[in-house]
Amino acid sequence: MDTPEQLLAAALDEVSHAKSSVELREIELKFLGKSGSIPGLMKQLGGLAKEDRPAFGQRTNTAKATVEAAVEARRADIKFKEQVAQFESERIDVTMPGESPRIGREHILQQATNKIKRVLGGMGFLYLESPELELFQYNFAALNYPPDHPAMDDQDTFYVDDTYLLRTQCTALQGRVFERTKPPLRAFTVGRCFRNEAVDRTHGHTFHQVDCFMIDEGVSMAHLKGTLGVFARAMFGDEVSVRFRPDFFPFVEPGVDYAISTPKLFNGRWVELGGAGLIHPNILERYGIDSERYSGFAFGLGVERIPMMAYGVDDLRQFLENDLRFLNQFQFEPIR
C-alpha cells in the first residue's frame, strides 16, 4: 500500500513532466480528484491504530496541499508557454504590404453638384427637386412658350405622350414652385435634363442643369449680376469675371446669356455657362403674383460645363461613359 509520501513523490514527478494543460488536468484528477489516490489514502485510516490516525491524516493533507501547489505552479507555467506558442503561431508581420481597400469616390458630376448645392444653399436658396419625366405644361406652357413657338425646337425632346416628356430644362421647376409658394422666395435645383440633340463634344442627349431663381420686391438685373458673380467666384476662384449678352428665352425679360473668363482657364477666353434674366411678368401674373410689386431673376447653366472648364475636359460624353481610368482622375476643388 502506498504511503502519502510515496504518492506525493509520484505526483510531483508526473506534474513536473506534464507537457500540456490537458495532461496536467488528468494528473490532477488522478491524484487529487474525488476518487483520486491521495483522497483515497483516507480509506486506510480505519486499519490504523487510533493514535496513528491523526499523524497519518496530517501527512495525507500535507501531501495533498503540496501536490495542489505544484499543480497550480505547473499550470501557470504551461499556460504561459502555451500562450507564447500561440502568439508565435498567430504572429502578424506588420511590415508586410497590406491589401489596399477599394474605396469609391463620388462621380465628378456629383462632386460638382455638391459644390453647387453648398454655394447656392449658403446664399439662402432652398434646394428643391422636380421630376425628370415632366408635364409638357411645366416644361414649356407654364414658361410662356406660345403654342408651336419655334423656341421649343431649340429644345427638341423625347415625348412619352402628348402630356409627358423628358424635361429639357430644370427651369421646369419654376411653375411648380410658383403655384405653391408666394414671394419672397428663393429656390434652386440641380438635375438631369434630356434633349433630342445631335450629340457632339459639348452636347449630350442626357446632361445636367442648375436652375436658380428668386422673387422679391425690387429684384433687378443688379441682383442677378451680383449673385452670378458670387456663384462664379465660389466655383472658379476670385479672379473670374462674368459677361452678360442679350439673349432670348420666353420666360425672361430681359434675357441674357452669360459667360465667364479667368486668366487660369483657356487663356482667359470667354466660356458660355448658361442663360439668365428677369422672370417674365406674364409668368408672375399667371401665378397670381403682382408684377407691379414683385420681380425676380432666374439663371440656368449646364453642370458639365463646370468640371469641363476646371479640368480642361473637351468632350462631355466621357462623363457618362463610366471609364474609371477617366473618372478616377478627378477630385473636384475650386481652382484657386
Q: Which is nearer to ligand FA5, 63 or 152 (CB)?
A: 152
Q: Which is nearer to ligand FA5, 4 or 255 (CB)?
A: 255
Does residue 300 interact with ligand FA5 by CB under 6 A?
A: yes
Shortest Å, Cβ 278 to ligand FA5: 9
Shortest Å, Cβ 268 to ligand FA5: 19
Q: Can you say how many angstroms the Cα of residue 224 is from the centroid of all Cα atoms in its chain?
A: 33
Q: Which of residues 108-167 bind ligand FA5 (CB under 6 A)?
A: none
- x-or-dash string of contact with ligand FA5, 180-219, rule CB under 6 A: ---------------x-x-----xx--x-x-x--------
Shortest Å, Cβ 197 to ligand FA5: 5
Shortest Å, Cβ 130 to ligand FA5: 13
Residue whose CB is nearest to ligand FA5 in the complex, by number: 302
Point out which span in 42-50, 67-75, 134-142, 295-303 binds ligand FA5 (CB under 6 A).
295-303
Point out which span in 21-29, 133-141, 296-304, 327-335 binds ligand FA5 (CB under 6 A).
296-304
Q: Which is nearer to ligand FA5, 4 or 302 (CB)?
A: 302
Shortest Å, Cβ 193 to ligand FA5: 7
Q: Which is nearer to ligand FA5, 60 or 295 (CB)?
A: 295
Q: Identify the residue among 4, 296, 302, 307 touching ligand FA5 (CB under 6 A).
A: 302
Q: Identify the residue among 305, 308, 309, 330 touching ligand FA5 (CB under 6 A).
A: 305
Q: Is residue 174 within 8 Å of residue 211, measured between CB atoms? A: yes
Q: Is residue 274 within 8 Å of residue 297, measured between CB atoms? A: no
Q: Which is nearer to ligand FA5, 67 or 214 (CB)?
A: 214
Residue whose C-alpha cell reads 499523524 in the numeric block: 55
Residues forming the site for ligand FA5 (CB under 6 A): 169, 171, 195, 197, 203-204, 207, 209, 211, 249, 252, 272, 274-277, 298-302, 304-305, 316
